[in-house]
Amino acid sequence: MSNQTFQTTHGVVTLIPRHFNWLVNEFVVELKLTPPNLWGWGVTATLPEEMENKITPEFAEQWASEAIGKLV
C-alpha cells in the first residue's frame, strides 16, 4: 500500500501505512504534517496500526490543527 495524502488548511498530512517500527517493537502507522512555508519542518505522529482505518480527511484536519501548534 502506498502513502495516502490529505490536503488540510495547515498543510499536507501524509498517512504512512502499516509498517514495523523497531523503536516500539510493533506494527504502526504514521501521520506526517508538512506545512507550507516552514522551511521543511514538520510533525510526525506514530499511531497503533488499528488506527489506520479510522484516519479520514476530517481526522487529518483535526490532527493537523493540533500538530501545527508544535511548530509555531
Q: Which residues on neighbouring strands pair with residue 45, listed in sequence order? A: 31
What would the pLDDT profile of 20-62 be if each residue is shown by its tens digit? Answer: 999 999 999 999 999 998 888 899 999 999 999 999 999 999 9
Rounded to two decimals, the pTM is: 0.90
With residue 20 as reference, give the H or E element that holds it: strand 11-21
The pLDDT value given to residue 40: 82
Q: Which residues on neighbouring strands pair with residue 6, listed in sequence order? A: 13
Question: Would the pLDDT of 8 be above 90?
Answer: yes
